[in-house]
Amino acid sequence: MPLPSIGGGTFARAGGPCIKLFLHGHANRPFFHIVITSKFAPLGTHPVEQLGTYDPMPNTENQKLLSLNIERTRYWMGQGATFSNTAAQLLGKAGFLPIHPETYMKAWRNRYKVADDEEAKKAAEATAESGPSQPPSSSSP
């Protein structure tokens, strides 16, 4: 039985090495291994090597734990490994890679949505207050 963390998988002909998040864990409890596999390998394939772990569920101190064997990761980067989207985003947040543009996009969209919701709520409150005394005013400035 090939053991992932000390090698044992192989690279497919096309694709090359890729650093991805490999889902382990159980029902309603995800846990990821950060592994190096072939880029187009099916999802359950044995990876070549395990480089780290990522726990997406925050612990009691509201921390998400990410570990990475930087030495080995840099070796694989030297061998031409690429990163999957989520792996690159995660490592960008961690400071190992530059922050991924999708992180900025996601953050902007979330902030926009929160601001939008706040505005809608304020408008609703304004109309509720002015409702009994006056006819509802137009909400658009």
Partner 1 sequence: MSRNVQRLGKLWLSLKRTSLSSSVGRPLLGHRAVPSIPLPALSQGIHFSCNQFSQNQDSQTSSKSQSQDEKRIKLFIDPEVQTLLKELTGRDLKRIFRKRKIGQKLKEPKYTFMTEAQLQKAREEAEEKADKLLQMPPVLMPRKTIDEILSFDPCIQLDEVVPSTLIFTDISMNIKDRDRIIVARDPDGTLRQATWQERDKMNAIYFPTEGREFIPPKMFTQPLALQTVLDRASEEDNTYEFVLDRACLQFEPEDPLFINAAETTYETIDRAGHYDFLKSTRHYGPMVFYLVRMRKMDNILLHCIKHGRVTTDADRLVTLFQIIFPECKSKSAEKTINAVDKIKRYIQLDAIRKGELELALNAYVEEEERKAELEEGLRRQHAM
Residue ranges binding partner 1 (CB under 8 A): 52, 58, 61-72, 90, 93-99, 103-104, 106-108, 110-112, 114-116, 118-119, 141
Query: What are the backbone dihedrals phi and psi of residue 5, each rounded to the nearest 5 degrees, phi first?
Result: -75, -15
Question: Based on CB atoms, which residue is closest to partner 1, 12 or 66?
Answer: 66
Question: Based on CB atoms, which residue is closest to partner 1, 63 or 134?
Answer: 63
Question: Based on CB atoms, which residue is closest to partner 1, 85 or 110?
Answer: 110
Only one residue has tokens 């998040």, namely 21
Angle CA 81–84–87, to nearest 5: 105
* Closest distance of CB 105 from partner 1, Å: 9
* Closest distance of CB 82 from partner 1, Å: 16
Query: What are the backbone dihedrals phi and psi of residue 111, each rounded to the nearest 5 degrees, phi first?
Result: -65, -40
Only one residue has tokens 């096309």, namely 14
* Closest distance of CB 42 from partner 1, Å: 27
Question: Based on CB atoms, which residue is closest to partner 1, 46 or 93?
Answer: 93
Structure tokens at 76: 């694989």
* Closest distance of CB 5 from partner 1, Å: 11
* Closest distance of CB 20 from partner 1, Å: 17
Distance CA 7, CA 77 (A): 16
Only one residue has tokens 């990522």, namely 54
Question: Based on CB atoms, which residue is closest to partner 1, 12 or 97?
Answer: 97
HSE-CB of 91 using CA atoms within 13 angstroms: 23
